[in-house]
Amino acid sequence: MINKSLKELKEGLASGEFSSVELTRFFLERIKQFNDDLNAFISVTEEQALAMAKAADQQIAAGNAGKLTGIPMAHKDLFCTDGVLTTCGSRMLENFIAPYDATVVEKLNAAGMPMLGKTNMDEFAMGSSNENSYFGAVKNPWDLERVPGGSSGGSAAAVAARLTPVATGTDTGGSIRQPASFSGVTGIKPTYGRVSRYGMVAYASSLDQGGAFGASAEDCALLLEAMSGFDERDSTSVDVAVPDFSAHLNEPLQGLRIGLPKEYFEEGLDSGVAAVIETALQQYKKLGAEIIDISLPNTHLAIPAYYVVAPAEASSNLSRFDGVRYGYRCEDPKDLTDMYMRSRGEGFGAEVKRRIMTGTYALSAGYYDAYYLKAQKIRRLISDDFKQAFKQVDVIMGPVAPETAFKIGEKSDDPISMYLSDIYTIALNLAGLPGMSVPAGTSNNMPVGLQIIGNYFEEAKMLNLAHQYQQATDWHRQTPASFSGEQ
């Protein structure tokens, strides 16, 4: 059961091999069995999931089932869910119950997918390891002493350990692709504006984008299609048609041009990771693709630009959490100023406070032009690099991260080293481009992801490339030994 694709699960539901209630109960039992080891879920919505599964069974019986009806899933705990805790992995929202559903939640509810629960994450999506959660670190299913990546580490770990068939995530600087790489699953961040941000608690509004985790590109294609679409409630939502992503999966790759940025293979890339990526590229050659060397000359500026733009936007977005309207409030404040200061000081973790302070400084009088404005100019240069590259090639490939998953605590005292984990992913968010991570092998017995970068709104092409690779390899079918058995 745990290794069935969404397509196979749908066929099983349609044939009566199992019901949605049985399927949902199966995954709820796996969560009960394994979540204590992984800490992948912050909350489990068993009663709600079984009620949704029962409704899905009725739809299936009536012949009204859609592509995903009755298949359970999980949401990153950044999406507002009506009547259910939405914590963002923070003490600040430890007891916050959202009064409405995010658009993504609405869409997947409408698709008939029972929600198993809400997955753990770095606080307010700030982190690359999932160690910044108020609810404790998430463990990597391949090695419980290692991180699963972040900030969507709970979703990645839950899919990798097969506690859920698929899950949602968000990506501000690599927070879907990097945990997908570290955890050995497929993860896709679509073009900025493809998926509505309404009801998705903001970290950096011009960078955040919702996306999908699954075992395979085929599974991600189905989930992403259900999540996508224009939303008038989100001013950053783009009104473009949502294609049938699954319809393009089997197109041949003959003559397709793959760009290889020289900047992604310079000093800093682990030799084991580089070897895995090279082997994957050779497989693409066998499938008929052409490899072309390209340059993205401003790549080295992506991290400094990001760590000005993102904290500046976080400083603005998180100013609403002040202990007045909702969220954490300190005990016995002396006055209003004391309440503001202590509520924020006690409610936010160290990394969130670090980024708020950085962003506030960058936006302050006398420093806006020197930092924020300059970072936005660099952002345009990075975007222009990609535009030039896509005149020569159809897609771009390279590593997701410079190394495999590191040990829990290894980089906790070195934020700069932690930030460098996202060196190959951040530029896409600055440019608004789509990207995905595909399991491509292992180094030191830990998963390595291949990054596929597409042009704007060309998710179908990326998914096609990923699917063709997964037809020729079996890395996406491999599961961590401790979680591969069925109870």
Q: Where are the alpha helices (DSSP H) in 287-425?
A: 302-317, 336-347, 350-363, 374-389, 415-419
User: pLDDT by residue (tens digit) across 330-346?
Assistant: 999 999 999 999 999 99
User: pLDDT by residue (tens digit) across 195-240?
Assistant: 999 999 999 999 999 999 999 999 999 999 999 999 999 999 999 9
Strands 395-399 and 257-261, how do they pair? parallel
User: pLDDT by residue (tens digit) across 277-291?
Assistant: 999 999 999 999 999
The Cα–Cα gap between 104 and 86 comes to: 14
DSSP letters along 216-260, please?
SHHHHHHHHHHH-S--TT-TT--------GGGGTT---TT-EEEE
Compare 369 and 404 and report the one with higher pLDDT: 404
User: pLDDT by residue (tens digit) across 364-401?
Assistant: 888 888 899 999 999 999 999 999 999 999 999 999 99
Q: Domains along the chain?
A: 6-258+391-483 (3.90.1300.10)
Over range 150-156, report the average pLDDT.
97
The Cα–Cα gap between 137 and 169 comes to: 17
The Cα–Cα gap between 268 and 458 comes to: 30
Per-chain mean pLDDT for the chain: 96
**Amino acid (one-letter) located at 364:** S
The Cα–Cα gap between 392 and 384 comes to: 13
Asked if residues 13 and 19 have their Cβ atoms less than 8 Å apart, the reply is yes
pLDDT number for residue 131:
96
pLDDT number for residue 486:
57
| Chain CA centroid to CA 164, Å | 15
Give me 15's structure tokens.
Answer: 């044939």
pLDDT number for residue 197:
98
Q: Grade residue 132 by pLDDT with cuts at 50, 70 and 90.
A: very high
User: pLDDT by residue (tens digit) across 9-62?
Assistant: 999 999 999 999 999 999 999 999 999 999 999 999 999 999 999 999 999 999
**Amino acid (one-letter) located at 101:** D
Report percent pLDDT > 90 for the chain: 94
Over range 403-411, report the average pLDDT.
95
Three-class SS of residue 249? Answer: coil
Report percent pLDDT > 70 for the chain: 99
Residues tagged active-site: 76, 151, 175
Dihedral (CA of 456, 160, 40, 181) sign: negative
User: pLDDT by residue (tens digit) across 52-102?
Assistant: 999 999 999 999 999 999 999 999 999 999 999 999 999 999 999 999 999
CA distances from 373 to 135, 379, 387, 399 (A): 36, 10, 21, 30
Q: Grade residue 487 by pLDDT with cuts at 50, 70 and 90.
A: very low
pTM comes to 0.96
Residue 116 has pLDDT above 90, yes or no: yes
The Cα–Cα gap between 85 and 68 comes to: 24
The Cα–Cα gap between 373 and 429 comes to: 17
